[in-house]
């Protein structure tokens, strides 16, 4: 009997002790959760329907695979990609020229350039001359919507944007613009071997040149040093090339 009472007393003390002591869990906040891509996947937006971007896509896949991430590519018009990635709906923007971050502050540039893009000026009229911005001020200009450097370069001028390179050339052939600014690589893809465009001529084959960079949303800023190092290493050992378009 005494033994039974003893065990009952111990049981009561056990219950009182654990009910009387607060049960604490370690606290968590969003600031303590690392900004790593969901499930090891990076979602990248780019206008991959534009000729040269489709050839750059494998480079992105290789870079991220090297640091342990899968890539999910989504093709959207250039301007829409910028806006959606800046809003955080994508983890990264495929490739852009410099100073995008001046207008889209949530995008951060990976310092190592991926390539170089050259824009040429094309026209139907032989008398059109394009050597500097002052020449453009007198003309109706066309280029693909969302190319931030061209928008800045032609600010305040008479511009008609196109959704893609083919539509851009159509603007010229239909005389809706006097000159188009177009990447050399896209011009080769769209116009090469097409008799419909045989009267289009380059009036300046190296009008503008820009380095191209990969941009990530600021929530993944911790990846930038690793991405930068990886790009330089892979370019150095020939795994990826420095693209020129």
pLDDT in tens, 93-130: 999 987 788 889 999 999 999 999 999 999 999 899 99
Q: Which of 156, 171, 167, 190 is nearest to 52 (CA)?
A: 190
Contact 231, 240 (CB under 8 A): yes
The answer to whether residue 84 scores a pLDDT higher than 60 is yes
Residue 217 CA: distances (Å) to CA of 35, 75, 104: 10, 17, 10
User: Coil, strand, or helix at residue 128?
Assistant: coil
Q: Where residue 26 falls among pLDDT bands split at 50, 70, 90?
A: very low
**Contacts of 8 by beta carbon, 8 Å cutoff, 6+ apart:** none
Superfamily grouping for domain 117-210 = Periplasmic binding protein-like II (3.40.190.10)
- Short-list 230, 243, 14, CA closest to 112: 230
Mean pLDDT (the chain) is 84
| pLDDT over 60 (residue 19) | no
Handedness of CA 230, 38, 30, 22 (dihedral sign): negative
User: Do you know the residue count of the chain?
Assistant: 245
- Strand pairing category for 107-109 and 115-123: unpaired
Question: 40-114+213-244, which class in CATH?
Answer: alpha beta
CATH 3.40.190.10 residue spans of the chain: 40-114+213-244, 117-210
- Which pLDDT score is estimated for 79? 87
Neighbours of 122 (CB within 10 A): 26
């Amino acid at each position: 009997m005494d033994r039974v009472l003893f065990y009952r007393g111990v049981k009561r003390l056990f219950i009182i002790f654990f009910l009387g002591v607060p049960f604490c869990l370690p606290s968590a906040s969003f600031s303590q959760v690392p900004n790593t891509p969901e499930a090891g996947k990076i979602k990248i937006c780019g206008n991959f329907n534009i000729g040269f971007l489709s050839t750059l896509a494998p480079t992105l896949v290789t870079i991220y695979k090297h640091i342990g991430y899968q890539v999910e590519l989504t093709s959207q018009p250039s301007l829409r990609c910028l806006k959606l990635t800046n809003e955080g709906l994508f983890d990264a923007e495929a490739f852009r020229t410099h100073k995008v971050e001046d207008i889209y502050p949530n995008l951060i540039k990976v310092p190592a350039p991926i390539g170089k893009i050259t824009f040429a000026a094309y026209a139907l009229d032989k008398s059109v001359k394009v050597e500097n911005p002052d020449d453009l001020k007198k003309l109706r200009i066309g280029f693909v919507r969302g190319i931030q450097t061209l928008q800045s370069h032609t600010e305040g001028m008479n511009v008609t944007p196109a959704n893609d390179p083919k539509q851009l050339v159509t603007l010229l052939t239909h005389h809706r613009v006097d000159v188009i600014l177009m990447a050399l690589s896209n011009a080769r893809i769209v116009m090469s071997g097409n008799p419909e465009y045989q009267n289009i001529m380059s009036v300046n084959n190296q009008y503008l040149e820009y380095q191209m960079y990969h941009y990530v949303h600021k929530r993944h800023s911790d990846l930038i040093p690793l991405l930068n190092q990886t790009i330089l290493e892979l370019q150095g050992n020939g795994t990826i090339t420095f693209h020129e378009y």
